[in-house]
Amino acid sequence: MSKGSKPALGFDDCLFVSVDVDSFDRYLSIYGVADPTLREELVERTWTLGVERFRALFDELAIPAVFFTVGEDLANATAGQVARSLASGGHAMGNHTQTHRYDFIRLPESQARVEVEACQESIAGAVGTRPLVFRAPGYNMTASTYALLEQADIPFDSSPLPSYPYLGLKYAVMASLVARGRKSSSIWGNPAHFLGSRKPKLRGNVTVLPCATTPWLRVPVIGTFMSVLPSAVVDAMASALEGPGFVALEFHAIDLVNWQEDGLPEALKASRDTNIPVSIKRDRYKRFLERMLRNHRPWVPHPPEA
């Protein structure tokens, strides 16, 4: 299978690794303690800390990855420089909307189209190519947003996280914030996208690549859970995915930081994995990825070579 080809729907041996580059200031917004004065600094540190550490890990293992990028963040000179370096180094950029509106699926169609198309242009302006894969903020999609991807010539989507435990946890966190009188930027969302199939499928002309969850229990196999769950549970998750079948592993740039080690705002400690030493998390991720590489080939969508 060539680098730019579109794999068959079976994806029997494909490993799709991605990082959501949600800037650290957006987590403050989730927890209801946003500080606009820190935005530029935190965007820059998202790329120089989280993104660069993941790049080093993936390069060590010879894994090309997709970095899902918020278009407006590329206005930061450092972020744009790192993005160009990633693209030239064999990694791919993904569309994560222009401004990362958590209410993306609630926007009027005209505004949602701008979120998608403006991000395409921002990334193309920074790295020279338009993304071929999309991920919505908060994993939420609707039929109309899939139609927008077709109109934007984006052939792949990796938004759904088919995990009812994650949905329950998300709702519990949001309810807790409400009880404490804090307004979160996150939304309750579309539960259907947390309850669907674990397998790739077609939605019109868009190939949907769900983020990995374990069979039966549907535990999300994402960086946050790999960080905070007991190592025996993480090993069991790896065993569940090690055999044949498509695997889409999702990380976030914040997964490879520690709020104290890196001198980040103390409010970020509300994200449990930011309290764990970076070295421990990196080691866990490396071992997990090495196990996936035993039976899977890394794949990212690249334009066909001329």
225-254 pLDDT, tens digit per residue, is: 999 999 999 999 999 999 888 999 999 999
- How many whole angstroms separate alpha carbon 88 and alpha carbon 263? 30
> Can you tell me the mean pLDDT for 22-51?
92
- 94-98, 194-198, 213-217, 294-298: which range is least confident on average? 194-198
Q: pTM of the entire structure?
A: 0.89
Express each pLDDT in 66-91 by its tens digit.
999 999 999 999 999 999 999 999 99
CATH for 14-298?
A: 3.20.20.370
**Averaged pLDDT of the chain:** 88
**Does residue 10 or residue 148 have the better pLDDT?**
148
Q: Which residues pair with 94 in a beta bridge?
A: 68
- Token pair 């990633």 is found at 86
Q: Is the pLDDT of residue 9 over 50?
A: yes
